[in-house]
């Protein structure tokens, strides 16, 4: 056990960060000590959002495959749609 003294402002900041992370104070501090990145806990609808974005990306990918197989789509458009889907997925993963 290592006692640490904090002033009111430091304690308030620590408690805010702990609340955002969703961890206990001990887990939060241990994560910081071992060099881990402590990120804010995802909002309640995070899992649903990821599921919907993944579904949209999968649908776009399936449409691209069907259009390509039927030779009804310009390969450049298919690549662009795929690129946009991947970019959206990456953005959602990074930001949320």
pTM for the predicted model, two decimal places: 0.42
pLDDT, one tens digit for every residue, the chain (96 residues):
888 899 999 999 999 988 988 889 998 898 888 886 666 666 777 778 778 888 887 887 787 778 778 777 777 877 887 788 788 878 777 766
Segments making up each domain of the chain, as ranges: 1-41, 46-95
Alpha-carbon Rg of the chain, whole angstroms?
22
CA nearest neighbour of 21 among 37, 5, 6: 37
Q: In angstroms, what CA-CA distances link 46 with 28, 49, 85, 93, 95?
A: 21, 5, 18, 10, 11
CA nearest neighbour of 92 among 60, 58, 56, 46: 46
pLDDT for 41: 65
pLDDT for 10: 93
Interatomic CA distance for residues 65 and 59, integer angstroms? 10
Interatomic CA distance for residues 60 and 87, integer angstroms? 13
């Amino acid at each position: 056990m290592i006692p640490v003294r904090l002033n009111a402002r430091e304690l308030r900041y620590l408690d805010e960060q702990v609340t955002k992370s969703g961890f206990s104070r001990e887990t939060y501090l241990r994560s910081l000590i071992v060099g881990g990145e402590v990120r804010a806990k995802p909002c309640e609808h995070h899992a649903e959002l990821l599921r919907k974005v993944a579904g949209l990306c999968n649908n776009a990918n399936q449409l691209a495959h069907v259009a390509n197989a039927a030779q009804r789509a310009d390969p450049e458009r298919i690549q662009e749609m795929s690129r946009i889907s991947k970019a959206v997925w990456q953005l959602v993963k990074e930001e949320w």
